[in-house]
Amino acid sequence: MTGSGFAQALVFGFIANPTSTRAGLNQTAANAGMRISTPGLDKRMNARAACFLESLLAEAVQSVVTAVPQTVSLLARFNGVYVGDGTTVALPAALASVFRGNNGEHDAAAKVAVQWELAQGGLRLWLSDGIVHDQRTGITAQPLPAGALRLNDLGFFNLQTFADDSANGIYFFSRYKVGTQVHSATGEPLDLMRDLPRKRLQACERSIQLGNQRLPCRLLALPVPAAQVAKRRKRLRDRARRKQQPVSERALALAGWTLYVTNIPPERLHLEEAAILGCTRWQIECLFDLWKNEGRLDESRSQDPHRVWCEFYAKLLALLIQHWVMVVGCWHRLNRSLHQAAQLIRKRAFCLLDALSDLPTLAHCLSRTADLLAHTCGLSKRATQPLTFQRWLELAHV
């Protein structure tokens, strides 16, 4: 057994089959040239092996693989569209000293924070304790280039970040956080509960000053269908009931609107296009869905904490390599299906493993895989409920 053979056995074993058994991983080890029994491989999954895989992951995340977009779309209006978010992976309680969870000192969970540039596919990743707030992860510390768009959810709503972005020539686009002070462009306080209903069922916008910093930006208000309003208000009441708190009348009133704040000028983003950027942020939720439901990042067949620890790092490495191959193979296509691409890459995993020791062979295997991804794994257009990529393309001419 060698270090490279051990890493290849786990990483490519989980690329090929995210639910791989002990015997399946041993078969991958044999494919990598290791002659070792299944119990022998199990014995190597200890704390030292986990630290080894952690160091490999730390090296791997320094490499950001990107593609050159070949299709003009809404994304091309910005010098990169960056979406960021975090997802939590529960771990055995014995690992609480490694990754502290939210539910006391004996709870273990890891926060996987991701920043994803949608136009070129570049992916950055940070790990921290599960108890760490999203805004304290590497996502907010990562500098963005001038002209880029920061597109995060309400968990990252931060007036100082918005002010810094504006000062550095970076665009932000965020849902409005209920309770944040709003003033008119001339400095008078605004009451959104009073002002918005006057224009019910009609999208509207106005220039505002946001928060105590009086940050100049735009407020974009989009009316919400009645059925969705009812669902939102039910969620608010349920949350208040769980927390044993009264329901905010302001939140109930504003549930009839989707409110965005942004410093993107009107000539670069029209009011009617705001909903499309709002949908774009959900792409990272699709990525987490892929990683957990198909990559089984938060699952393990074992109850042994050291084995689960090793599997966690190995699966992250497997998902990162999978993403790199997607970027190389199908990122030039906006109608790509990440789920179909992942399925195809799983079928090609052993081909890639066999080619690792010879660069020309590896280049040929990657080229062949990229060709397969480029000519398959596409999404069909919808006539009634257009997919996000269709809406990006519809606005390419603006």
Please report how many Cα atoms fall inside a 13 Å half-sphere around the Cα of residue 338, on the Cβ side: 20
pLDDT confidence of residue 105: 86
CA–CA separation, 101 vs 93, rounded Å? 9
- Does residue 123 contact residue 320 with C-beta atoms inside 8 Å? yes
pLDDT digits 0-9 by tens, 316-364: 999 999 999 999 999 988 899 999 999 999 999 999 999 999 999 999 9
- Does residue 293 contact residue 32 with C-beta atoms inside 8 Å? no
| Residue predicted with more confidence, 89 or 178 | 89
Answer positive or negative: Cα dihedral of 256, 262, 265, 270.
negative
Q: Look up the domain containing 83 and give its range.
A: 74-285
Question: Is the model's pLDDT at 395 over the cut of 80?
Answer: no
pLDDT confidence of residue 198: 61
Place of tokens 């306080």: 189
Residue of 163, 111, 102, 153 whose CA lies nearest to 136:
111
- Does residue 119 contact residue 80 with C-beta atoms inside 8 Å? yes
Mean pLDDT on 308-317:
98
- Does residue 89 contact residue 112 with C-beta atoms inside 8 Å? yes
Give the CA distances from residue 366 to residues 67, 86, 121, in Å, rounded to whole numbers and listed in that order. Answer: 14, 30, 17
**3-state DSSP assignment of residue 393:** helix
pLDDT confidence of residue 196: 80
Query: Is the residue at 62 inside a domain?
Result: no
What total of structural domains would you count in the chain?
1
Question: Is the model's pLDDT at 165 over the cut of 80?
Answer: yes
Q: What are phi and psi of 260, to 5 degrees?
A: -120, 150
Tokens of 83: 């979406």
pLDDT confidence of residue 200: 59
Query: Is the residue at 16 inside a domain?
Result: no
Query: Is the residue at 276 inside a domain?
Result: yes
Question: Is the model's pLDDT at 215 over the cut of 60?
Answer: yes
Query: Is the residue at 189 inside a domain?
Result: yes
Question: 392: part of which helix (H) or strand (E)?
Answer: helix 388-394
pLDDT confidence of residue 396: 60
Q: Compute the radius of gyration of the chain from its Cα atoms.
A: 23
Mean pLDDT on 205-226:
94
pLDDT digits 0-9 by tens, 184-209: 999 999 988 887 866 557 889 999 99
pLDDT confidence of residue 252: 87
Query: Is the residue at 206 inside a domain?
Result: yes
Residue of 11, 5, 6 whose CA lies nearest to 311:
11
| Residue predicted with more confidence, 128 or 71 | 128
pLDDT confidence of residue 284: 96
CA–CA separation, 100 vs 93, rounded Å? 9
Mean pLDDT on 78-90:
96
Query: Is the residue at 96 inside a domain?
Result: yes
Mean pLDDT on 99-126:
95
- Cα angle: 199, vertex 205, 206; to 5 degrees: 110
CA–CA separation, 250 vs 196, rounded Å? 12
Mean pLDDT on 19-45:
93
pTM above 0.85, yes or no: yes
pLDDT confidence of residue 258: 92
pLDDT confidence of residue 398: 45
Query: Is the residue at 35 inside a domain?
Result: no
Range with lowest mean pLDDT among 154-168, 214-228, 235-249, 345-359: 235-249
Query: Is the residue at 6 inside a domain?
Result: no
Residues recorded for the chain: 398
Average pLDDT of the chain? Answer: 93
